[in-house]
């Protein structure tokens, strides 16, 4: 089942999501990228109802891009997250609400700080140092409580992330096999092999 | 609102109220001696049901003192029994002498906070005069009642000092239900998942004409002791004491579990 | 455009740690009720300088009624941005919002354009302190120091001579006051003829802090720069 994790460190945010695409009990694909790049310093991991996820993520992606094109600078992570949250909150009371859970991680180039937001399909938003969605969150939350270091180096952050993923793989019956990990810092976004 | 175990009628189609998240446990417990005045089409079972008002947890309390008011909230944000964040403030400044507390569905807490900020700013632009608590209370009420048949799942508490014609200030606290029915009080207002416990403790600790420091102690003890008996609230608290010339804000640590 | 060239001067100077705005009031007189102006309301000193948002001050030259309408529009646009993005509107975006509106009235017949030029003095985290000017056609541009309204040519050339790139807010205030005193028609300078505002960063919160001077503060400022009313008797008495 779908799992996503994210954590902040000194000057960076790590975002990880599994790469399986499933319909019911069938795996359709094992190399799906479920982390969108919204702007040069903004990442969004999405999970939830198949169909809703991609539709909603692309809607967000295109609107954030439009803002960037119109204004020459992108929205700051706080503002982008506030807008994304509102989109979900408005969707909740529409005829067909999107069932999408998000982790939005970004690096604010204006004040050189990392930001991470936990957002669920109800439009709930929490500003957090680390976060997880899906069944993996039951295993990862307590591990992250214990091992997370907000001033940790990238290597330290990756080690903590690996702990969370390994524990999930060990204990969760329906654990996903593969994850994609991306990092955002002052230099932008890049993928990392775990 | 705080009833967790509920009789739920289950129809073959599994009819679920749309828009309300299904927060029921996966296994349902059949009840010995189920009242069978129901048709065979549906069964009545006792289920662990969490209302949408309790989904994220959190509590707010406001108290009136002598020439001052206080308002306090806990800091937990949950998703059911799981704690997501422990830095979620539920009280927001409206003016220098008025704070608004919002307990309930966290999504609506943020939406309403942004909406009220917009409405009060527009009021200041158009009216260019200070917004008084009695005016704002009715703005809150009508904003909530606008959604009478699809409400925001939030019960606000307002605490402020109302300016009297003589130029002095008098304490003003008011709460509303989720559709905006105003409930004025001389003593205290409680809301949130620990509201029943808050009622009890506040009833015991509150007394009239408390000075700011005593009011701070009273509201802090009330909130801390109430949320310690509530699994859905806690993880520290924020207290604001509003006096005519300043607002004292303090963050408290409690049982961080 | 004609109305603007007769309107009271509005002058803005961008410094490295703030922006300064000053305006000449045209509607004056003993009988004018200034009680509203003294209180300030949402943030405005009455005629020409207004708070558009917590991070932007606007200065208006032109038809006052058109100006009020645009101020109202700007404030609503800023609040709408705050609602959507939970941040103060970036200064250039606010200028764009107004220019989109103004441009609309140049494109279709039957309606009269807004007879207003504006200065926007603001701060945002993208470009820090900024100063913009927009005219009735919907054109806008960014400036280090500029002036609109009557005698703007003289003021511009004075500013061009005296402006330095790393000017501080304190020096900018002096520059603005001096330039205003030279460009204004009247020989006497006082709070009944002058509006004044400064935008800086709060040293503690690092948030933009807009200060629109009250009449007494304007007078105090003029005294400080030795440009108060040339009334010998009072000067002797205070000294």
Task: Print pLDDT tens along chain C (239 aa).
Answer: 667 777 889 999 999 999 999 999 887 666 777 666 544 456 665 678 999 999 999 999 999 889 999 999 999 999 999 999 999 999 999 999 999 999 998 888 788 899 999 999 999 999 999 999 999 999 999 999 999 998 888 899 999 999 999 999 999 999 999 999 888 866 677 888 889 999 999 999 999 999 999 888 888 999 888 877 655 444 444 54
Provide the ipTM.
0.94
C-alpha closest to that of C238 among C220, C211, C217 = C220
- Is B114's CB within 8 Å of C83's CB? yes
- Taking an 8 Å cut-off on Cβ atoms, the answer to whether B125 and C75 are in contact is yes
Contact predicate B171/B188, CB 8 Å: no
The torsion angles phi and psi of B11, rounded to 5 degrees, stand at -95, 160
Residue A119, CA atoms < 13 Å, CB-side half-sphere: 29
Q: What is the residue whose two structure tokens read 């056609």?
A: C137
Smallest Cα distance from A137 to chain B, Å: 9
Chain B residues with beta carbon closer than 8 angstroms to that of C41:
124, 128-129
User: Over the stretch B182-229, which tens digit does the pLDDT of each residue have?
Assistant: 999 999 999 999 999 999 999 999 999 999 999 999 999 999 999 999
B66 CA to chain A: closest CA distance, Å?
A: 36
Distance CA B38, CA B47 (A): 17
B87: left (phi over 0), alpha (psi -120 to 50) or beta: alpha
The Cβ of residue A5 has, within 10 Å, a number of other Cβ atoms equal to 30
Cα–Cα dist C154/C131, whole Å: 19
A126 to chain B, closest Cα gap in Å = 6
- Best residue in B125, B128, B129 for a mutation probing chain C (most C CBs within 10 Å): B125
Rounded to an integer, what distance in angstroms lies between the CA atom of residue B225 and that of residue B211?
21
Q: Which residues of C touch A79 (CB under 8 A)?
A: 85-87
pLDDT at C215: 85
Length of chain B: 257
* B neighbour chains, 3+ CB pairs within 8 Å: A, C
pLDDT in tens, A58-110: 999 999 999 999 999 999 999 999 999 999 999 999 999 999 999 999 999 99
Check A71 against C92: CB less than 8 A apart. yes
On chain C, the residues whose CB falls within 8 A of the CB of B114 are 83, 86
Distance from the B89 Cα atom to the nearest Cα atom in chain A, whole angstroms: 10
How far apart CA A150 and CA A147 sit, in angstroms, is 10
CB of C25 closer than 8 Å to CB of C47: yes
């Amino acid at each position: 089942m779908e799992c996503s994790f994210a954590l902040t460190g000194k000057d960076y945010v790590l975002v990880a999501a599994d790469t399986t695409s499933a319909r019911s009990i069938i795996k359709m694909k094992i190399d799906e990228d479920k982390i969108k790049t919204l702007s040069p310093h903004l990442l969004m991991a999405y999970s939830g109802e198949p169909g809703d996820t991609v539709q909603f993520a692309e809607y967000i992606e295109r609107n954030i891009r439009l803002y960037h094109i119109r204004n020459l600078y992108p929205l700051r992570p706080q503002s982008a997250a506030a807008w994304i949250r509102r989109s979900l909150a408005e969707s909740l009371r529409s005829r067909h609400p999107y069932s999408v859970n998000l982790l939005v991680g970004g690096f604010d180039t204006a004040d050189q700080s990392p930001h991470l937001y936990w957002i669920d399909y109800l439009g709930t938003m929490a500003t957090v140092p680390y976060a997880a969605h899906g069944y993996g969150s039951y295993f990862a939350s307590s591990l992250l409580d214990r091992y997370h270091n907000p001033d940790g180096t990238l290597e330290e952050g990756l080690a903590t992330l690996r702990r969370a993923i390994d524990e999930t793989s060990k204990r969760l019956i329906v654990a996903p096999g593969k994850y994609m990990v991306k990092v955002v810092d002052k230099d932008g976004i890049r993928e990392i092999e775990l | 609102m705080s009833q967790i175990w509920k009789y739920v009628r289950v129809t073959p189609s599994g009819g679920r109220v749309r828009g309300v998240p299904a927060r029921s446990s996966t296994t349902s417990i059949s009840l010995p001696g189920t009242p069978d005045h129901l048709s065979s089409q549906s069964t009545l079972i006792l289920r662990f049901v969490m209302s949408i008002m309790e989904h994220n947890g959190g509590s707010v309390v406001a108290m009136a003192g002598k020439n001052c008011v206080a308002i306090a909230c806990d800091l937990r944000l949950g998703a059911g029994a799981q704690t997501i964040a422990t830095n979620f403030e539920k009280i927001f400044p409206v003016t220098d002498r008025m704070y608004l507390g919002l307990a309930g569905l966290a999504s609506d807490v943020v939406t309403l906070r942004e909406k009220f900020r917009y409405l009060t700013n527009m009021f200041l632009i158009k009216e260019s005069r200070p917004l008084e608590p009695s005016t704002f209370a009715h703005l809150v009420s009508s904003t909530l009642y606008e959604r009478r048949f699809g409400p925001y799942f939030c019960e606000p508490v307002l605490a402020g000092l109302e300016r009297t014609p003589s130029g002095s200030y008098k304490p003003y606290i008011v709460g509303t239900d989720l559709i905006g029915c105003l409930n004025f009080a001389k003593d205290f207002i409680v809301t949130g998942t620990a509201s029943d416990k808050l009622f009890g403790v506040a009833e015991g600790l509150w007394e009239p004409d408390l000075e700011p420091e005593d009011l701070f102690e009273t509201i802090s003890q009330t909130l801390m002791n109430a949320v310690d008996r509530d699994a859905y609230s806690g993880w520290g608290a924020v207290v604001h004491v509003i006096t005519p010339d300043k607002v004292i804000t303090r963050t408290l640590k409690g049982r961080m579990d | 455009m004609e109305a603007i060239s007769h309107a009271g001067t509005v002058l803005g100077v961008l410094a490295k740690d703030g922006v300064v705005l000053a305006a000449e009031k045209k509607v004056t007189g003993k009988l004018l009720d200034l009680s509203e102006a003294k209180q300030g309301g949402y943030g405005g000193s009455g005629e020409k300088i207004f708070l558009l948002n917590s991070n932007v001050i606007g200065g208006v030259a032109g038809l006052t009624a058109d100006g009020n309408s645009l101020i109202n529009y700007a404030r609503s646009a800023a609040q709408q941005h705050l609602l959507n993005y939970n941040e103060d509107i970036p200064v250039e975006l606010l200028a764009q919002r107004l220019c989109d509106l103004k441009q609309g009235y140049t494109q279709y017949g039957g309606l009269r354009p807004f007879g207003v030029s504006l200065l926007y003095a603001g701060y945002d985290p993208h470009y820090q302190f900024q100063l913009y000017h927009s005219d009735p056609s919907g054109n806008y541009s960014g400036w280090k120091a500029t002036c609109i309204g009557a005698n703007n040519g003289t003021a511009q050339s004075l500013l061009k001579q005296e402006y330095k790139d790393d000017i501080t807010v304190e020096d900018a205030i002096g520059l603005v006051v001096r330039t205003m005193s030279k460009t204004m028609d009247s020989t006497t300078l006082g709070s009944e003829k002058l509006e004044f505002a400064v935008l800086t960063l709060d040293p503690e919160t690092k948030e933009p802090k807009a200060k629109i001077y009250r009449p007494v503060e304007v007078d105090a400022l003029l005294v400080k720069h030795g440009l108060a009313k040339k009334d010998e008797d009072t000067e002797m008495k205070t000294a």
